[in-house]
Structure 1
Amino acid sequence: MSTPRLVAVTALAPAVWGTTYAVTTEFLPPGRPLFTALVRALPAGLLLVAVTRTLPGGGWWWRAAVLGTLNIGMFFPLLFLSAYRLPGGVAAVLGALQPLIVAALTRAALRENVPVHRVLAGIAATAGVCLVVLRADAALDAVGVAAGLLGAAGMAAGLVLTRMWGKPDGVSDLALTGWQLTAGGLLIAPLTFVVEGMPSTLDGAAVGGYLWLGLVGTAVAYTLWFRGVARLPALRVSLLGALSPLTAALLGWLALGQALSPLQLTGFALALTATVLGQLPAPPVLRPRTRPVRPDDRRPEISRRT
């Protein structure tokens, strides 16, 4: 698969995640963040493990547990905690900081050069998301802010580790995704039963919403996401995350009748443009310049006395 096509397919994941807000508010029972996280992760993970009939081997047992904890088991509850304690716009902005965290971790853990234009794209995309989702009366909550930042940092670390570890030979993207979803779901399960318990009833709309989030929003989307992470630079993939709040805003306008002001439209265009430019090679002005070696620059050879 060509790189542009791989980027486009990977971008489908955050675009699908952008439907989570509309599905949650319109179809799911309120006040059930942990149960929603559990239903998203564990059934999808078990389904992928059953379909692929592949279990981790050797050191991949603990690696799958670590990745599942960072990408799913820790991220989902913190995401919902942040969303419940903060206005949606503030929570989205905290999530949009992930590319900058990925840039720092890429440099520290992978020892890879971080292209300047992608860092600038991450800053511009975050600014654009701020314009789209933030409101002047947005209130801050210390616990919510801490949860949002910790969730973004955890998923950023999971993204970098996924890139660093790759996957075992002969193991499919579906299997690796299934391992992580199962590990994360098993971590969420006891928290769900202790803190929330099971909902008393679920109507048809809720069942349909959970099926969408579990099958499409999790099993399919995370498979596409981890596939891209394994084949593309981590920072390049993380920049695509801005598509999630942008999709949520677009759906709110198209399906829920939420108006978009000129300032929000400007932010939308800024974030989308920055995300696209972040996928392109560095422009010549930002590439390191090298001067051709001239004959005068070469060190003279020192003859050895005989």
Structure 2
Amino acid sequence: MTAPAPAIWGSTYLVATEWLPPDRPLLAATVRSLPAGLILLAFARTRPTGVWVWRVLVLGTLNIGAFLFLLFVAAYRLPGGIAAVIMTAQPMFVLVLAALFLQEAVRLLHVVACALGAGGVGLLVFKGAVALDVVGVAAALGGAACMATGITMTKRWRRPAGVGLPAFTGWQLVAGGLVLLPFTLSVEGLPTAVTGTNVLGFAYLISLGAVISYAIWFRGIERLPALAVSFLALTSPVVAAILGYVFLQESLSLPQLLGILVIVTAALLAQPRPAGPRKGA
């Protein structure tokens, strides 16, 4: 039930390149988050109070605002898919954070899954030698750390009692969008012309890319171990590669197909196992 969220995020690469205004990643991120959050809150009609005012700001920044900003910085400064490879450090961060803050046990199987996940994404997106940009590498690591910390703290703090999932999702989307808004206006500004295709692209990002997918994602964080959720995020580059092959005539080599298989294996290894029957039962 949680895997469709990162799968939808994988489709946003295709939507962004084909339907959105070019070279405006911050605009895409802001439009994706802020209107979606406002739509959810218009139906939920609930606002955070007390300690949840600053908690929502922290979670919205980690899960959405800072994460998307750093992700786009890394994508623009690191060629050859190296940003995606560095982002695979995210499950490793979760492995440590979940042990520290959630008392989730670290098992050898989890360490193996982390190594497989990084290797699988490397096979999928890495293309030859690349020059490493220090700012880009730092942004990619920062994005991985933001996502990992966001997953961990969302699970640690839990959704407040009496607050529905749409409201909880909307709070974070609005907070993340407000963090992104000043960067969007100062760095990119507003577009001077918007086509009908652009409107369709933005509508997709707001509806499936944010309202639906983030609600599914936060529901998954509530119900799964933090590490299991973090590995599901690795399906995003898999879906992006498959859609590129189907719709953009991009090639899928044998190493890339092997990478997809390795990523799926790593995600399955990280998922919780059902408890076996008790002895004597």
Q: Give the TM interval when normalised to the shorter protein.
A: over 0.9
Aligned mates of 2:229, 2:36 — CA distance in 1: 23
* 8 Å contact kept, 2:6–2:236: yes
Q: State the match for 2:12 in structure 1.
A: 20
Deviation at 1:134, TM superposition (A): 0.1
Flag structure 2 segments of 5+ consecutive residues without an equivalent: 277-281
Counterpart check, 1:78 vs 2:70: yes
CA distances 1:204-241 after superposition (whole Å, capped 9, x unpaired): 11111111111101111011001110121100100101
- Which residue number in structure 2 is paired with residue 115 of structure 1? 107
2:28 to 29, 36, 39: 36
**More deviation, 271-280/178-187:** 271-280
- Say if 1:232 and 1:217 are closer, same or farther in 2 by CA, change over 3 A: same
Structure 1 spans left out of the alignment, 5+ residues: 1-8, 285-306
| Residues 88 and 170 (structure 1), Cα distance of their counterparts in 2 relative to 1, 3 Å cut | farther
Q: Is the contact made by 1:96 and 1:242 (CA closer than 8 Å) also made in structure 2?
A: yes
Alignment RMSD: 1.6
**Distance in 1 (alpha carbons) for counterparts of 2:275 and 2:50:** 43
Aligned-pair CA distance for 1:283: 11
Determine the structure 2 residue equivalent to 1:262: 254
Aligned: 1:150 with 2:162: no
Change (3 A) 1:107 1:199: same
Query: Whose radius of gyration is greater, 1 or 2?
Result: 1
2: CA distance between counterparts of 1:146 and 1:219? 29
The separation in 2 between residues aligned to 1:148 and 1:115, in whole angstroms, is 26
Spell out structure 1 runs of 4+ moving beyond 6 A.
none
Q: Does 1:65 align with 2:57?
A: yes
CA apart distance, 1:105: 0.8
Q: Distance in 2 between matches of 1:197 and 1:148?
A: 24
Q: 1-side partners of 2:196 and 2:136: how far apart?
A: 32
1:295 aligned partner: none
- Structure 1 residue 280: Cα displacement: 4.4
**Contact kept in structure 2, 1:118 and 1:236, CA below 8 Å:** no
CA contact 2:80–2:127 (8 Å) conserved in 1:
no
Q: Compute the displacement of 1:263 (Å).
A: 1.1
- Structure 2 length-normalised TM: 0.94
Tell me how far 1:180 sits from its aligned partner: 0.4
CA drift of 1:88 comes to: 5.2
Alignment of 1:170-185 (within 5 A): 170-185=162-177
Identity %: 51
Aligned equivalents of 1:42 and 1:88: distance in 2?
A: 30
Taking a change above 3 Å as real, the CA distance of residues 101 and 25 of structure 1, as seen in their structure-2 partners, is same
Contact persistence 1:115–1:282 (CA under 8 A): no
Q: CA deviation at 1:31?
A: 1.4
The yes-or-no answer on 1:133 pairing with 2:125 is yes
Measured in 1, the distance between the counterparts of 2:138 and 2:258 equals: 29
Distance in 2 between residues matched to 1:55 and 1:283, nearest whole Å: 39
1:199 alignment partner in structure 2: 191
CA-CA distance at 1:264 after TM superposition: 1.1
Give the CA deviation at 1:114: 2.2
> Secondary structure of the equivalent of 1:10?
coil
Q: Distance in 2 between matches of 1:90 and 1:78?
A: 14
Tell me the equivalent position of 1:167.
Answer: 159
Once residues 106 and 5 of structure 2 are traced to their aligned partners in structure 1, the CA distance between those partners, rounded to angstroms, is 23
TM-score, normalised with respect to structure 1: 0.87
Q: For 2:22 and 2:148, how far apart are their aligned partners in 1?
A: 28
The more displaced of 133-142 and 241-250 is 133-142
